[in-house]
């Protein structure tokens, strides 16, 4: 497990990078991000979008949940008080993990709060992966890269997508926040 309970996501990212013997430049080559941006993320000076965090986690052979988890020894119950939301001002999104990665490497669940006009950025979910999304507040728009059709979920609506799929989640409203519960099931784990 990466990090300890009192570490930030950036500190856990830095620890994982160093544990793998990667320089910022080498990690940048694997992710397509600049070493400067990655350094800012590690130091908490910049908050990546969910899709950027996913690219970084994959390059480190981790899950996003492992980077966001704050209590590796929590057991099967992950208390709200043990979760530390990650805020991205750039994408107008707050993400927190709802699953303890030390108890399950197959399922990741996230609570994503999108400010008006907020967007997670584009995430690619691998083959043999299922993605369940539930709109718990507001309206969530999404578009699969393989289709040019924009779809929307209203409060209470849900969708299941099968990988491989590339999708971006967004809040089409310019005045009302939205909330999405996202569950990713990796069938190849």
pLDDT of residue 70: 63
Contact 139, 154 (CB under 8 A): yes
Residue ranges per structural domain of the chain: 9-68, 106-186
Find all residues with CB under 8 Å of 142, minimum gap 6, and list them: 133, 150, 151, 152, 153, 159, 167, 168, 169, 170
Q: Per residue in 112-146, pLDDT tens?
A: 999 999 999 888 888 888 999 999 999 999 987 76
Residue 182 has what pLDDT?
95
pLDDT value for 183: 94
- Predicted TM-score (pTM) of the model is 0.78
In the CATH hierarchy, which fold is given to the domain comprising 106-186? Jelly Rolls (2.60.120)
The fold adopted by the segment(s) 9-68 is 434 Repressor (Amino-terminal Domain) (1.10.260)
Per residue in 53-111, pLDDT (tens digit) is 888 988 998 878 777 776 555 577 878 887 778 888 888 999 998 887 766 678 889 99
Q: What is the pLDDT of residue 148?
A: 73
Tell me the per-residue pLDDT of 14-27, one tens digit each, with 9 for 90 and over: 998 999 999 999 99
pLDDT at residue 23, rounded to an integer:
93
174 vs 64 pLDDT, higher one: 174
């Amino acid at each position: 497990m990466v990090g300890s309970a009192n570490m930030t996501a950036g500190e856990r990212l830095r620890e994982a990078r160093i544990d793998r013997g990667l320089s910022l430049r080498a990690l940048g080559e694997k992710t397509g991000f600049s070493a400067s941006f990655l350094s800012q993320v590690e130091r908490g000076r910049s908050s990546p979008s969910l899709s950027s965090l996913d690219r970084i986690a994959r390059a480190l052979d981790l899950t996003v949940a492992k980077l966001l988890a704050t209590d590796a020894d929590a057991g099967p119950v992950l208390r709200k008080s043990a979760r530390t939301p990650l805020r991205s001002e750039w994408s107008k999104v707050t993400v927190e993990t709802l699953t303890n990665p030390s108890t399950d490497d197959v399922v990741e669940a996230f609570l994503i709060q999108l400010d008006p006009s907020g967007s997670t950025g584009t995430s690619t979910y691998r083959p043999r992966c299922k993605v369940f999304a539930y709109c718990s507040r507001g309206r969530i728009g999404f578009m699969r890269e393989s289709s040019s059709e924009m779809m929307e979920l209203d409060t209470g609506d849900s969708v299941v997508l099968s990988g491989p799929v590339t999708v971006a989640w967004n809040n089409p409203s310019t005045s009302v926040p939205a909330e999405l519960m996202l569950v990713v099931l990796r069938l190849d784990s």
